[in-house]
């Protein structure tokens, strides 16, 4: 009994959880004394990314650019970094991860912070997406994003509306983990809505990660537990952030080719990479690419775990084999 | 009375020289004006891509390995951007026994943070496990109580406990 109490108290000093950026944040440290300064560093990074890149804040740099009508605006260096990361994602995935889907997301009804969404989500088993009317976008629309680093400024040409939801969160996780490790030392793990970044000296046996459909689920949810020693791990899924719009079931991963919610082979994709943002880019791309994802991930030596809509599991590369089905 | 003829060869050559100078000036002004107008138009209308100047964006790799991607602007000028490829992890994830914290009801609080902070709990603490396969950032022994022999069955000293935060959940968000 005493051991239980003592152990639980010590674990509390190694881990903290709270809400930010419309999702859950988990911070783990290897040194109990590091939790306070590490959390402060993470919170500073999250505030900065929210101020720079949130689509749901009228005063964010991103929204000012979205409303600027094609004019160039001075922005924070962090938004330039976030936009560069998003453009890189678009280039590397040949547009499967596209930051210019802001209008399509609004048409799909994704118009506010997820925390303010309808409390009654749609039935995740409904895989037929709605037919949306989406404004025509030019191919490779991200090329209309014009950036300067010094002085930092941005201009969104071609009438595009940018949404950085796919990459900004992962970028924030990477930045927060690095900042926390720099300040607090030791090993740091930061999870933003299930997008996991690590920094510093990891535990001897690695960080434990439970891979499942929904980051809000408990560690006993159906899935697989793995260990990571460094880098990042991200999971994208069509089973979460679902809502009803116009009487139809929606989710937040849109196919850039038609602006509709993706309903291809995979419902959930988990990818490990050197950084959280690389893992996030690959996991999102895997959902959009569908049956082509396995080959795409293999070509890039990215270990991954893909879950089909019928529960079938496919592991890619060096991802450990499943002990039991999902 | 006939008008005197003033058009000598020398005057003619001088006039031709002046015309040449004027023409050269006009050509220079035209070239410079075209360049200025081109730049103004490029900055003023959508479709102008990232500049390749010192203070502008480049997507070069910091890791040394790059992928070169070619694309075209509206002006059909081919540009090349170097983009760092996706990097595989230094070590791939490894399997963890499915029993490790996965079935612990108490572990869900760590991965599903509520509005209150510090919600983690130890999954290993519930079963007093001494497994060496647990991922324990810090391994500490619990304080040991010396129990009287007569009360040994109920106050037995606890076994050393490894502190193991619950697995962090990676799922869709």
The pLDDT value given to residue A158: 82
The more confidently predicted of residues A190 and A250 is A190
Element (H, E) at B71: strand B67-72
Arithmetic mean of pLDDT, B77-84: 60
Distance, in Å, from the CA atom of A291 to the CA atom of A125, rounded to the nearest integer, reads 20
Contact A23 B166 (CB under 8 A): no
A201 close contact with B: CB closer than 8 A? no
Question: How sure is the predictor about B48, in pLDDT bands with cuts at 50, 70 and 90?
Answer: very low
CB A16 within 8 A of CB A29: no
Question: How sure is the predictor about A262, in pLDDT bands with cuts at 50, 70 and 90?
Answer: confident
Nearest CA in chain B to A324: B98
- Mind telling me how many Å the CA of A29 is from chain B's nearest CA? 8
Question: How sure is the predictor about B152, in pLDDT bands with cuts at 50, 70 and 90?
Answer: very low
The pLDDT value given to residue A261: 76
Nearest CA in chain A to B56: A148
Distance, in Å, from the CA atom of B120 to the CA atom of A13, rounded to the nearest integer, reads 8
Spatial CA neighbour of A276 closest among A189, A212, A200, A182: A189
The pLDDT value given to residue B3: 57
Arithmetic mean of pLDDT, A112-116: 51
**Measured between beta carbons, which residues in chain B are less than 8 angstroms from residue A144?**
46-47
The residues near A262 (Cβ < 8 Å, ≥ 6 apart) are: A129, A238, A251, A253, A254, A255, A287, A288, A290
The more confidently predicted of residues A52 and A324 is A52
Least confident of A128-137, A302-311, B87-96: A128-137
Distance, in Å, from the CA atom of A324 to the CA atom of B39, rounded to the nearest integer, reads 62
Least confident of A90-104, B43-57, B75-89: B43-57
**Does position A102 have pLDDT exceeding 80, yes or no?**
no
Question: How sure is the predictor about A257, in pLDDT bands with cuts at 50, 70 and 90?
Answer: confident
- Mind telling me how many Å the CA of A28 is from chain B's nearest CA? 8
A57 close contact with B: CB closer than 8 A? no
Contact A207 B168 (CB under 8 A): yes
Spatial CA neighbour of A242 closest among A267, A219, A220, A264: A267
**Measured between beta carbons, which residues in chain A are less than 8 angstroms from residue B126?**
4
Least confident of A214-218, A273-277, B139-143: B139-143
CB A154 within 8 A of CB A83: yes
**Does position A256 have pLDDT exceeding 70, yes or no?**
yes
Percentage of residues of chain A with pLDDT beyond 70: 79
The pLDDT value given to residue B74: 38
Distance, in Å, from the CA atom of B106 to the CA atom of B121, rounded to the nearest integer, reads 6
**Does position A11 have pLDDT exceeding 80, yes or no?**
no
Spatial CA neighbour of B90 closest among A305, A206, A77, A186: A206
A272 close contact with B: CB closer than 8 A? yes
**Measured between beta carbons, which residues in chain B are less than 8 angstroms from residue A2?**
142-143, 145, 158
**Does position A110 have pLDDT exceeding 70, yes or no?**
no
**Measured between beta carbons, which residues in chain A are less than 8 angstroms from residue B108?**
217-220
B47 close contact with A: CB closer than 8 A? yes
- Which residue of B92, B120, B134 is in closest CB contact with A17? B120
Contact A220 B122 (CB under 8 A): no
- Mind telling me how many Å the CA of B82 is from chain A's nearest CA? 9
**Does position B9 have pLDDT exceeding 70, yes or no?**
yes
In the DSSP assignment, the letter for residue A320 is: P
Sheet holding A195-200, edge to edge: A15-20, A23-29, A187-192, A195-200, A232-237, A266-273, A304-308, A313-316
The pLDDT value given to residue B46: 54
The pLDDT value given to residue B161: 45
pLDDT in tens, A140-167: 888 889 999 999 999 998 888 899 987 9
Interface test with B, best of A13, A43, A218, A240 (most B CBs within 10 A): A218
The pLDDT value given to residue B113: 39
Distance, in Å, from the CA atom of A122 to the CA atom of A136, rounded to the nearest integer, reads 28
Give A39-53 as a DSSP string: HHHHHHHHHHHHHHH
Distance, in Å, from the CA atom of A238 to the CA atom of A264, rounded to the nearest integer, reads 10
Partner A, chain B 52-111, Cβ-Cβ below 8 Å: 55-57, 59, 67, 69, 71, 73, 81, 83-98, 100-105, 107-111
**Measured between beta carbons, which residues in chain A are less than 8 angstroms from residue B50?**
146-147
Contact B170 A191 (CB under 8 A): yes
Q: What is the mean pLDDT of chain A?
A: 84
Q: Residue A270 forms beta bridges with which residues?
A: A235, A305
pLDDT in tens, B99-124: 433 333 333 333 333 333 333 333 33
- Which residue of B105, B107, B168 is in closest CB contact with A189? B168
């Amino acid at each position: 009994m005493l051991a239980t109490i003592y152990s639980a108290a010590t674990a509390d000093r190694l881990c903290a959880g709270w809400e930010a950026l419309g999702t859950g944040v988990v911070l783990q440290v290897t040194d109990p004394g590091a939790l306070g300064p590490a959390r402060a560093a993470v919170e500073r990074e999250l505030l900065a990314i929210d101020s720079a890149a949130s689509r749901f804040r009228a005063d964010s740099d991103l929204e000012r650019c979205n409303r600027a009508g094609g004019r160039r605006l001075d922005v924070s260096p962090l938004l330039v970094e976030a936009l560069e990361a998003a453009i890189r994602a678009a280039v590397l995935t040949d547009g499967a991860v596209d930051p210019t889907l802001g209008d399509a997301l609004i048409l799909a009804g994704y118009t506010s912070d997820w925390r303010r969404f309808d409390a009654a989500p749609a039935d995740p088993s409904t895989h037929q997406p709605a037919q949306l009317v989406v404004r025509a976008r030019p191919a490779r629309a991200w090329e209309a994003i014009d950036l300067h680093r010094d002085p930092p400024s941005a201009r969104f040409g071609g009438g595009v509306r940018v949404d950085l939801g796919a990459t900004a969160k992962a970028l924030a996780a990477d930045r927060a983990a690095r900042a926390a490790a720099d300040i607090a030392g030791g090993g740091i793990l930061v999870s933003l809505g299930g997008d996991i970044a690590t920094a510093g000296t990891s535990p001897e046996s690695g960080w434990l990660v439970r891979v499942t459909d929904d980051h809000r689920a408990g560690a006993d949810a159906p899935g697989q537990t793995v260990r990571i020693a460094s880098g990042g791990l991200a999971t994208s899924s069509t089973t979460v952030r679902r809502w009803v719009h116009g009487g139809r079931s929606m989710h937040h991963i849109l196919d850039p080719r038609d602006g509709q919610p993706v309903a291809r082979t995979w419902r959930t994709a988990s990818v490990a990479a050197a950084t959280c943002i690389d893992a996030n880019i690959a996991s999102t791309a895997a959902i959009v690419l569908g049956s082509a994802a396995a080959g795409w991930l293999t070509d890039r030596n990215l270990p991954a775990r893909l879950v089909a809509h019928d529960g079938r599991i496919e592991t890619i590369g060096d991802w450990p084999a499943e002990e039991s089905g999902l | 009375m006939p008008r005197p003829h003033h058009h000598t060869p020398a005057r003619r050559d001088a006039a031709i020289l002046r015309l040449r100078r004027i023409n050269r000036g006009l050509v220079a002004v035209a070239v410079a004006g075209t360049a200025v107008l081109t730049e103004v138009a490029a900055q003023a209308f959508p479709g102008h891509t990232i500049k390749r100047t010192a203070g502008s964006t480049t997507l070069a790799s910091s890791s040394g390995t790059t992928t070169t991607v070619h694309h075209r602007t509206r002006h059909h000028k081919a540009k090349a951007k170097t983009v760092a490829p996706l990097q595989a992890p230094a070590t791939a994830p490894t399997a963890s026994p499915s029993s490790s914290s996965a079935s612990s009801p108490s572990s869900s609080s760590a991965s599903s943070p509520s509005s209150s902070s510090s919600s983690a709990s130890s999954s290993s603490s519930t079963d007093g496990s001494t497994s060496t396969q647990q991922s324990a950032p810090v391994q500490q022994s619990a304080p040991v109580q010396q129990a009287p022999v007569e009360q040994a069955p109920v106050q037995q000293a606890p076994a050393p406990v490894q502190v193991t935060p619950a697995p962090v959940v990676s799922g869709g968000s």
